[in-house]
Amino acid sequence: MKKIIAIDVGNSETTVGVGNSDSWAGYRFTTRKTITSDELLMMFKTIIDIKPHKENLIEGAIICSVVPQITNSVALATSKFISKEAIVVGPGVKTGLKVNIDNPKELGPDRIANSIGGYIKTGSSVVVVDLGTATTFDLVNEKKEYLGGSIAPGIKISLDALTSKTSSLKSVELETPKNVVGKNTYEAIQSGLILGHTSMIDSMVEKIILETGLAPKILITGGLGKVIQPLLNIKSKFEESLTLDGLEEIYKLNN
C-alpha cells in the first residue's frame, strides 16, 4: 500500500503517523499555539525517520487540526518536508460522510476523521469515544451518516481544574486505582477521575443506544483510551490509530 503522512493536531498533543492503516510509525509532541512553520519543519526533520519508508516513497500528506492558530504553519512545514502540498481537512475536501446536524461546519475535522475511521473499522453503525483534551462521542449509522454526538471535559482537564481550584488537592498519576473507595486523598482522586469517567462513558453509550434504537459497535481511541477501555462494562474495542486511519481514507477520496 502507498504510504502517507497523517497529522492530527489536537489542543494538547499533535500526533504524526507515517505509513498507512496496515502499519503506522507514530510520533507525538506537545501542541504549541505559537510554534512557527520553520520550527515545525526542524522538528519533523529531527523526530520523523522516513528512511524505513524509502522503498515506498511517501505519496502525500493530510492534516486535521482543531488549533486554527497553527494549522497553516503545520501545512506549510509538512509540504516543505515532503515537497508536496498537504491536504487540510476542511471545506472543499471530500470526506464521504453525510453530516446530519444543525450546522455541519461546526463538526471538528478530528471528529470527522474519527467517524470515518470508525465506520471503516466496523462497516456498521458505530459510536467512537475519543479520550483526548475533551472526551467526545460521535455516532455514525450503517448508511455512513453522522447523526451527532456529545462533548465532555477530558480527564486531564478535570484533573487540572480540580487541583487549580482547590488549595489542598494535589495532582495524581492517571492510572487505574486499586479500589473505588480510596483510603487516602491520592487514591480518592484517582478513583473519581478514572472510575468516575469510566462510569460516565458506560452510561452515555447506554443512553445513546436507548435514544436512537441503534445497536452500534463501540470503539475507543485517544491518549487515555488504553487506560479506560479495559474498565468499561460496555462491549468495546480500543483502536489507537483510528484518527489516522480515518485521515488516510479521506486522503484516498481526494486523490
Count the Cβ atoms, other than its own, within 10 Å of residue 12. 15
What is the C-alpha to C-alpha distance for residues 248 and 240, in angstroms, rounded to an integer? 14
* Rg for the chain, CA atoms, rounded: 19
What is the C-alpha to C-alpha distance for residues 28 and 13, in angstroms, rounded to an integer? 7
Within 13 A of 128's CA, how many CA atoms are on the CB side?
Answer: 30
What is the C-alpha to C-alpha distance for residues 240 and 2, in angstroms, rounded to an integer? 20
Amino acid at 24: W
Give the residue from 120, 8, 137, 145 showing the smallest Cα distance to 65. Answer: 8
What is the C-alpha to C-alpha distance for residues 180 and 190, in angstroms, rounded to an integer? 9
What is the C-alpha to C-alpha distance for residues 197 and 152, in angstroms, rounded to an integer? 10
Catalytic-role residue among 110, 130, 138, 245: 110
Dihedral sign computed on CA atoms, order 248, 252, 254, 255: positive
Tell me how far the alpha carbon of residue 231 is from its chain's centroid. 19
What is the C-alpha to C-alpha distance for residues 72 and 67, in angstroms, rounded to an integer? 10
Establish whether 110 is a catalytic residue: yes
Active site residues: 110
